[in-house]
Every structure is written in C-alpha cells, then in structure tokens.
Amino acid sequence: MPALIKNEASCLCGSVKIDVANVNPKFTVCHCETCRNWGGGPFFAVQCGTDVNIKGAENVKEYNSSFWASRGFCSLCGTHLFYRLNQTGGYNIPVGLFSKGNDFVMTMQYFSDRRPDYYCFSKQTEEMTTAEIKAYFVSKV
C-alpha cells in the first residue's frame, strides 16, 4: 500500500471543492466505453476511499451510470467530479482535479482490451482486460 496523502480537488468554476483525507497517488486509467463516453476519453481515476468532504454539495448532480456505481458532476460548470461505487461508497476522482498533483503515478490500466486503436500511452503500466477484471471481482465476492 502506498503512502496516502491529503489533497483537495476542485471543479473548473470552484463551486465544488472536495477534501480527501487519503488519496492513493498510484492511479488507474479506465478505457471502458462508459468512461470514454462520459469524459470524451479515458478516465484517470484516483482512489480516494470514503473519507471525503464535499463543499458545495448542493451543486453536485449524480448520474447512475450502472447498477453498481454513480458519476457526479458540477451542475454549474460540468466538471466530472467522481465515480462512486454503491457497495463501498468509495470515491474515484479524476487526477486533473487535484491542486497538488506532483506525486501521482499512473500504475494500472483497466479494460485494456477495450482501448481503441486511436490512442495509446508511451508509459508502460500494469493492465487488466475485461476477463481479468471480471475474474478478479468475482473472486472477491
């Protein structure tokens, strides 16, 4: 487990600020169709757990993108704020929203088999395919 750090995320217009007590600096990129449709590209997801304090929560809208998770965004400026798992309540926040970003490291790519041919990263990371992710989560239930 990497050292968890405190950080603050903010939307573009500043109406929503999210204090996160335990940011995991090793973040995951998700290439699935839902994430790419949501953000127009892959989702750079930072695991933030549940110790999260949202300021300006009245400006947050949530969309239930699947039966296991929802996606939150700022209703004033449209910034994508989080992907949240219903079961754990754990937040995943896009890496670009954090003010102190220098310690982040891209270490994993999810749904690598669903990554389209029109982009790729030069940085090599661990990857998981759809089948590997399904097997992993089934084994945890």
The CB-side HSE value for 67 (13 A sphere, CA atoms) comes to: 0
Whether residue 98 contacts residue 109, with contact meaning beta carbons closer than 8 Å, is answered with no
The answer to whether 30 contacts Zn ion (rule: CB under 5 A) is yes
Single residue of 32, 85, 106, 133 touching Zn ion by CB under 5 A: 32
Query: Least Å distance between CB 104 and Zn ion?
Result: 18
Query: Least Å distance between CB 81 and Zn ion?
Result: 8
Nearest residue (CB) to Zn ion, 3 versus 18:
18
Q: Provide CB contacts within 8 A for 63, sequence distance 6+.
A: 70, 71, 72, 73
- Interface residues with Zn ion (CB under 5 A) are 11, 13, 15, 30, 32, 35, 74, 76-77
